[in-house]
């Protein structure tokens, strides 16, 4: 059986936007054994999606940890892969191509120097992630790449006891990039306005955001904080039934938008929606140089509730 390897290490938004390419590779190599090389946060999600026969974890060896690099080299060579699709296309993943030296290398789709199927577009860094990956696959012989699909996601979210009418909010973001966050006080006002409309505000975020999410929820008793309590599949399933969603340019909003939830995503000058905007059936992007300048009334209008 032909072996195929796909490399996608993260982050969450990038992983969601790779679901279409995953499906395209699976369809193109119907009879192959397809392995994904990823990192621990995405392993369970990747196993559930059905596109892969096996999921390998990459512990991302750093610097001069020679033993870990050699271990990864042995594993890559032992896989007997006929072709490798590098959807990470980072300096790190390009090093994996060169780890296979010496000896014959498998076919390789990516940007590593000397690979067999390069994404030979000098403007690739100025393309949106979804179009960029679709073009990369087209240059490797896969003509059609579908949009991300989350219809396979399953989770029992009844344990959260949500109301019949609720909205999802993702007010967090990368800790090192505060400019990507709309001020929490503005989110609190949105939470209160949603509650006045009998729409339960549901706050989503990671472990690092639990304190601030709970502080918002404490000031609006109709809301609930699920920070640190949800899996990726939980979020996708909740998005399918949510009335709407609001969030910063952060990973959960990619999941929510791709699941088809009407979504409003807030951008500052710190990130460019032309390159990485959330995609879905109903997505509105609001952008300001500084998110402090974005008014609540405009956001509420975009939410259409």
Residue 44: name the closest of 208, 231, 243 by CA.
231
pLDDT above 90: residue 129: yes
Q: What's the average model confidence in pLDDT over 145-158?
A: 97
pLDDT in tens, 173-185: 887 888 999 999 9
47 burial (CB, 10 Å; 0-12 / 13-18 / 19+) is: middle
Dihedral over Cα of 155, 159, 165, 168: its sign: negative
- pTM of structure: 0.95
pLDDT in tens, 66-77: 888 889 999 999
**Where are the chain's structural domains?**
3-139, 159-303
Instruction: Report the distance separating Cα 8 and Cα 14, nearest Å.
Output: 8
pLDDT at 173: 84
pLDDT at 65: 74
pLDDT at 63: 67
> CATH fold of 3-139, please?
Rossmann fold (3.40.50)
> CATH fold of 159-303, please?
Rossmann fold (3.40.50)
Assign 137 a pLDDT band (cuts: 50, 70, 90).
Answer: very high
What would the two tokens of residue 258 be? 């791709």
Give 205's contacts (C-beta < 8 A, 6+ positions apart). 170, 171, 172, 212, 213, 225, 227, 228, 252
């Amino acid at each position: 059986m032909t072996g195929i390897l796909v490399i996608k290490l993260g982050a969450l938004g990038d992983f969601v936007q790779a679901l279409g390419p995953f499906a395209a590779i699976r369809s193109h190599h119907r009879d192959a054994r397809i392995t994904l090389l990823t990192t621990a946060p995405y392993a369970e999600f990747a196993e559930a999606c059905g596109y892969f026969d096996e999921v390998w974890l990459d512990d991302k060896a750093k610097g001069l940890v020679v033993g870990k690099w050699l271990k990864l080299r042995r594993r890559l060579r032992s896989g007997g892969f006929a072709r490798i699709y590098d959807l990470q296309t980072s300096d790190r993943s390009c090093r994996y191509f060169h780890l296979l030296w010496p000896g014959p290398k498998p076919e390789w789709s990516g940007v590593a120097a000397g690979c067999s199927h390069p994404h030979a577009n000098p403007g690739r860094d100025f393309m949106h992630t979804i179009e960029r990956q679709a073009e990369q696959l087209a240059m490797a012989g896969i003509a059609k790449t579908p949009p991300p699909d989350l219809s396979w996601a399953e989770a029992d979210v009844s344990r959260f006891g949500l109301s019949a009418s609720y909205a999802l909010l993702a007010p967090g973001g990368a800790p090192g990039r505060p400019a990507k966050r709309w001020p929490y006080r503005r989110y609190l006002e949105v939470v209160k306005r949603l509650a006045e409309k009998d729409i339960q505000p549901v706050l989503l975020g990671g472990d690092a955001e639990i304190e601030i999410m709970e502080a918002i929820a404490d000031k609006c008793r109709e809301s609930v904080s699920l920070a640190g309590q949800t899996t990726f599949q939980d979020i996708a399933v909740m998005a399918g039934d949510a009335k709407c969603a609001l969030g910063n340019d952060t990973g959960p909003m990619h999941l929510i938008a791709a699941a088809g939830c009407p979504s409003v995503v807030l951008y500052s000058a710190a990130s460019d929606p032309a390159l990485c905007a959330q995609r879905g059936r109903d997505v509105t992007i609001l952008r300001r140089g500084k998110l402090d300048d974005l008014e609540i009334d405009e956001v509420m209008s975009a939410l259409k509730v």
